Structure 1
Amino acid sequence: MNRQKGRSSDAIIAPEIVMEFDSLQEAYDFYNIYSWEIGFGIRYGQSKKNVAKSKTVQEITCGCEPKHVNTKSACCGCLAMIRLHRTTDNGWYIHEFRKDHNHGLAMNRGEKMQWPSHKNIDPRIKALVKNLRDNNIGLTKAFIVIGSFFGAMENVPFNKRSLRTLCANISRDHSEDDVKKTFDLFSELKMKDPNFRDSCLADKDGNIRALMWTNGKSRMQYKQFGDAITFDTTYRTNLYDMPFGLFVGVNNNFQSIILGGVLLTNERTETFEWVFKEFVSLMGGKAPVTILTDQCRAMELAIAVVLPGTTHRWCKWHVLRKAKEHMGLLYSKASGFRDEFHKILEYMITVEEFEAAWAILIAKYGFQDHPFLTQIYEVREMWAKPYFAGNFCARMTST
């Protein structure tokens, strides 16, 4: 007999004798929804097979029903269950329904989520998630949309971690098909553009780890304007949340030009070595004179190995963004520091002017021991304008 009542509502469809289902999975999903509303978890119980080794009887029991006679688990021997029998057309129907539990029932979402059966996601919700991800809806927004179907976020019968796992499985299930579609698209582009080029990096198991491409127009523009380029991997707005890198240049009208793109599965040094090596190869073997990147250490190491003759500098936009992140209110308009800091970056012509202005700025605001300013000063040749003199940059930023 119940010691504690779970949720009860006229909207709950309770199991009934002779209720039919097309498959065991459909019956399981139905009973699992019922168990969520009532406040318990379920699992597959005992089954029987005929001489042809086909199941004819299947029990789906309360999660508190012991799995073994001599079990040492916390199961309390609850007898609540549904017993399914196979129909003549290979469907299933409820032959027996035991409603009563001998234990307390979960009253809130947190308690219900402790049952393994409620960490699974309903097939209909899986279909919804797939449609949302196919339309490039992010994980958080997808969870909010699902919450609207259940009336409130606390009513969703799974957590965000389960949703993340589902999204990863969806991506993995469709990855091979998507790779095929990608190469089919590349084949079409090559037919339209004989100078289109692509390259892929695969591991020892044949899995693609990086994919790069460029077209004829980009290759031609690189020959004319490829002395200074930028490379940025701050874009992750694709279905698989993969880093997407763009090689960008500037033409003689100071207009940005796209030189190539690459999708990555990681941002390790060896991967970036392949990226920069393949980029130069696809562009005909000519390395850039100058390359701007963010402050990624893996990129820095890779450029030193693959492009030893190329001057590597940090993008000013990334330096200023890091300054805002690390300095907080000290970098606000009210402090006055920001405007003077920008002035040093923009208007100091010589190394001597920069060094003098920097010393005055640090002393004025008492930032001699500020960790961020100390760090970037030590590598000022990577970003400060006077140290950039002689290295063509064409007013470029990587964003």
Structure 2
Amino acid sequence: MEANNFIEHQYRRKLDFDNGENDILFDTIRTEVDENEDNQAKFDSNEYITSIHSKIPVETIPKIDMEFETKEEAYNFYNAYAYKVGFSIRRSKGHKGSDGKMINRTFCCSCEGRREVDNRRIIVKHHRAETRFHCLTIMKVNCHQTGKYRVVDFIASHTHVTSTPSKSHLHRSQRRLTAAQEAEIDLVDNSGIAPKDGCELMTRRAGGRESLEFTHDDYRNYLRTKRTTKVKLDETGGILEYLQRMQLEDPSFFYALQLDNEGLITNIFWRDAQMKVAYSHFGDVIYFDTTYQKNQESRPFAMFVGVNHHKQTILFGAALLYDETAETFIWLFDTFVRGMVGKKPMIILTDQDAAMAKALSFQWPQTSHRPCIWHLYQNAAKHLSVVFERFREFSKDFSRCIYDYEEEKEFLQAWHEMLEKYNLQSNNWLKRMFSLKEKWALVYGRDMFCADMMTTQRNESMNSSIKGYVSYKHNLSKKFHHFQRLFEHQRYEKLKADFKATQSNISLPLNIAILKHAANVYTRKCSKHLKLN
């Protein structure tokens, strides 16, 4: 069988350094199929390289006796040449002198050599792609004679087809992160911006992917390597370092640790000075929850939450817990009170967790414990999912029983009518909820001040705010950092609300003394709630 000759057309971009313009040229490279080489396509490498060399500046092509001050300078020069030709390089053999200085170094094409034979190849289902083609392209330098690194050997021809310049930036030796880029990636990551969006931002700023000098995979690998290094340094130690640093910056910063029998940390609670001040003003009613976000080890984060005079959600403290047992909650509630100089809330809203209820009865018996309405709705949707799907009016009737009735008699009548209307008299979950009606039905708590925290919107807002900053994918150190960002955001929102309050007055419908007094006492948000406008 005679060898077939064919023409392969390959686009190649000419780099014109005089005017900075890039012209698309068509390189026609002649190749042959050699029957003696297992019918693999080969090309005239010398003709190919000569064609490329004719299109790039002469001074960028390595030559024998060319000198460089350092081996790094030689590497960078050869790598820049490789970018124009379209291949990747790596450091190969080198020898050091008695003083430890590298006296010679060989830089080769990344396709140099052959993959070693692996005896396990027979049982491997999916073999890795071949990337070594016994390429002989090299540039060798040594510093024997003048002390400078002189080119003593240069082979330009390749045994494989190189890439076009539009793809050169994808070669491994052409991809690198500078110190400035690493710093920018750290800043973007600490701001909570996703890697995909951060890489897109840097790409646009650089003027395109080819100008960025790294890929999205390099971006993600940098973050992964950095996080892995932090974990190896012991994540618990990192958390302790964070807490101790916060205490140095804020002497009123308070944190407490609980250890197990082996001396390992199980539970952590912390609050800063501003949380303590906020609790002293707005801590009569608090909301406590452990369902915001969990970390990768499924350890719950617990939050003590309140509402300020602008009806904004504020945080009084946070905890990283080992589990959700009564013993853990007993330690946490006792620690929270110690951190708040002995003050206990008048009302606490929680989910319907039995361990939490037990701990509250032991630690805060005088505090009124009421279930969170948002969790009540979540449990109702879970236990009564079929009813919600079949009857559109059920949600409204259920909501009326919670909120609407002023008299106990009206509530009881509406409850029984709802059970009959939807044939739910034998539903065990509703029976259990009815036995606890004094804790969740507002008809039994009209005389209690709940700071607008009984609404489902308030709890959904709290969960949404935290999800915007903290993800279950974050490790513990990263989670602490992003919680601090959440705290700072909430405090800035309060600052803006305080500013607006000082720059405007409430418009009153009537010029009455009691309304003037109310306008001076209440903030704009509270005045709207009281319908002063």
TM-score by length of 2: 0.48
Specify which of 263, 266, 273 is matched with residue 215 of structure 1: 273
Report the residue type matching 1:162 in the other structure: N
User: Separation in 1 of the partners of 2:322 and 2:413?
Assistant: 37
* Cα deviation code 1:160-182 (max 9, x no counterpart): 63254256369779x99997686
- Structure 2 vs 1, CA of residues 111 and 177 (structure 1 numbering), >3 Å: closer, same or farther? same
**1:12-27 matched pairs, under 5 angstroms:** 16-17=62-63, 18=66, 20=68, 24=72, 27=75
The residue that corresponds to 2:93 in the other structure is: 46
User: Separation in 2 of the partners of 1:16 and 1:5?
Assistant: 24
Specify which of 233, 247, 255 is matched with residue 186 of structure 1: 247
User: Separation in 1 of the partners of 2:175 and 2:265?
Assistant: 30
User: Separation in 2 of the partners of 1:286 and 1:359?
Assistant: 42
Q: Is the 8 A contact 2:303 2:317 kept in 1?
A: yes
The residue that corresponds to 1:157 in the other structure is: 215
Identity of aligned residues (%): 19
The residue that corresponds to 1:125 in the other structure is: 181
Specify which of 403, 428, 432 is matched with residue 346 of structure 1: 403
Q: Is the 8 A contact 2:306 2:313 kept in 1?
A: yes
Q: Does 1:282 align with 2:282?
A: no
The residue that corresponds to 1:193 in the other structure is: none
- Structure 2 vs 1, CA of residues 118 and 375 (structure 1 numbering), >3 Å: closer, same or farther? farther
User: Separation in 1 of the partners of 2:12 and 2:351?
Assistant: 54
The residue that corresponds to 2:136 in the other structure is: 79
Deviation, structure 1 residue 16: 3.8
The residue that corresponds to 2:505 in the other structure is: none
Specify which of 189, 203, 228 is matched with residue 147 of structure 1: 203
The residue that corresponds to 2:254 in the other structure is: 198
* Cα deviation code 1:343-385 (max 9, x no counterpart): 454325667457446547868xxx9xxxxxx999987969993
Higher Rg: 2
- Structure 2 vs 1, CA of residues 293 and 81 (structure 1 numbering), >3 Å: closer, same or farther? farther
The residue that corresponds to 1:56 in the other structure is: 103
User: Separation in 1 of the partners of 2:379 and 2:62?
Assistant: 63
Q: Is the 8 A contact 1:60 1:83 kept in 2?
A: yes
**1:100-119 matched pairs, under 5 angstroms:** 100-105=157-162
CA RMSD of aligned residues (A): 6.2
Deviation, structure 1 residue 145: 1.0
User: Separation in 1 of the partners of 2:155 and 2:437?
Assistant: 73
User: Separation in 1 of the partners of 2:86 and 2:438?
Assistant: 60
Deviation, structure 1 residue 199: 1.1
User: Separation in 1 of the partners of 2:398 and 2:145?
Assistant: 81
Q: Is the 8 A contact 1:80 1:100 kept in 2?
A: yes
Report the residue type matching 1:218 in the other structure: K
Q: Is the 8 A contact 1:227 1:290 kept in 2?
A: yes
Q: What SS class does the counterpart of residue 148 from structure 1 fall into? A: helix
**1:218-367 matched pairs, under 5 angstroms:** 218=276, 221-222=279-280, 226=283, 228-231=285-288, 246-250=303-307, 258=314, 260-262=316-318, 269=324, 273=329, 276-284=333-341, 288=345, 290-292=347-349, 300=353, 303=356, 306-309=359-362, 315-316=372-373, 342-347=399-404, 352=412, 355-356=415-416, 359=419
Q: What SS class does the counterpart of residue 262 from structure 1 fall into? A: strand
Q: Is the 8 A contact 2:350 2:371 kept in 1?
A: yes
* Cα deviation code 1:174-193 (max 9, x no counterpart): x9999768645533533xxx
Report the residue type matching 2:270 in the other structure: M
- Structure 2 vs 1, CA of residues 52 and 219 (structure 1 numbering), >3 Å: closer, same or farther? same
Deviation, structure 1 residue 133: 3.8
Deviation, structure 1 residue 144: 1.7
Unaligned runs of 5+ in 2: 1-7, 16-21, 23-55, 120-127, 294-298, 463-533
User: Separation in 1 of the partners of 2:416 and 2:146?
Assistant: 89
User: Separation in 1 of the partners of 2:338 and 2:350?
Assistant: 19
Q: Does 1:65 align with 2:141?
A: no
User: Separation in 2 of the partners of 1:101 and 1:198?
Assistant: 66
Aligned residues: 367
User: Separation in 2 of the partners of 1:259 and 1:54?
Assistant: 59
* Cα deviation code 1:135-164 (max 9, x no counterpart): 564434312212214545698523263254
- Structure 2 vs 1, CA of residues 216 and 56 (structure 1 numbering), >3 Å: closer, same or farther? same
Deviation, structure 1 residue 51: 2.2
